[in-house]
Amino acid sequence: MSDSIERISPEYLKTQEEMHTGFHKGMQYGSISYVLWDILIKPIVEKTNAKSVFDYGCGKQYLREYFEDMGIEYTGYDPAIEKYSTLDLSKQYDLVISIDVMEHVEVEYQETILEDMSKLSKGFILITISPCWAKKVLSDGRNAHICQAGPSYWLPKICKYSEPIHLANCLEDIPGFYVLSRKKIKKPIINQMGTTWNGSFKETEFQAKKIGVPIQTPLPTDDTCQLEWAKINAPEMFQQNN
């Protein structure tokens, strides 16, 4: 189910279509996905135990074969590739990825796109961003990275729509970075002076229901079962990298 919300201006869309076809000075996008597959993307897919992936800003879908070889359901969207330019927000995926896309996004659409990712995710979101100049130049004369900004710029925007759990450089000695986030599922709980809380899961469930926070999975009332509950309901926290 698509919507009528604009995510790219018509003028800028033309420059992106040119870059994907190599029409402007033979320049094309896409090679970074190959570089990051083994060192970042694949390990995060395995760590999060994702069975379905949505690739936001997928380009020519270079990663499709990689995911399908792992038995993972793959879907991609890119407004500059006609056959992938329909965005369906009615489904959700275990992992949403956006590989070196946000630095190409016009400022007025950045939060719309981050919100899209949150809507599409039922688990995790992986965003990689390059904060420096690109070697490529658009046909309108601008550097291909139209937004060159680091974590201090991007994190406040990302935090509006998801909960960051890890930020690091993608490659050693290279300024590109990634942010791995969880989908937001709970409202903040602020314990003011006078708040009573006995620390048990039973009390947590009571307090959450009182303020209208949904409990997706029944919580154990016996505090000795907390670890077992976490292993069942948040198994990714206990998985080790191979």
Domain chopping of the chain, boundaries: 10-183, 187-242
pTM of the model: 0.76
Architecture of the domain delimited by 10-183: 3-Layer(aba) Sandwich (3.40)
Residue whose entry in the numeric block shows the structure tokens 């050693």 = 172
The H helix count followed by the E strand count for the chain is: 8, 6
CA atoms within 13 A on the CB side of 190: 2
CA distance 205 to 150: 38
Indicate the SS3 state at residue 183. strand
Residue whose entry in the numeric block shows the structure tokens 């009390």 = 203
Structure tokens at 85: 């330019």
CA distance 160 to 157: 6
Residue 103 Ramachandran class (φ > 0 left, ψ -120 to 50 alpha, else beta): alpha
φ, ψ dihedrals at 234, nearest 5°: -140, 60
| Tens place of pLDDT per residue across the chain (242 aa) | 456 699 999 999 999 998 887 644 544 466 688 889 999 999 999 999 999 999 999 999 999 999 999 999 999 999 999 999 999 999 999 999 999 999 999 999 999 999 999 999 999 999 999 999 998 889 999 999 999 999 999 999 999 999 999 999 998 777 899 999 998 876 776 766 666 655 566 666 666 666 666 665 555 555 555 555 555 655 554 454 43
Start-to-end CA span in the chain (Å): 38
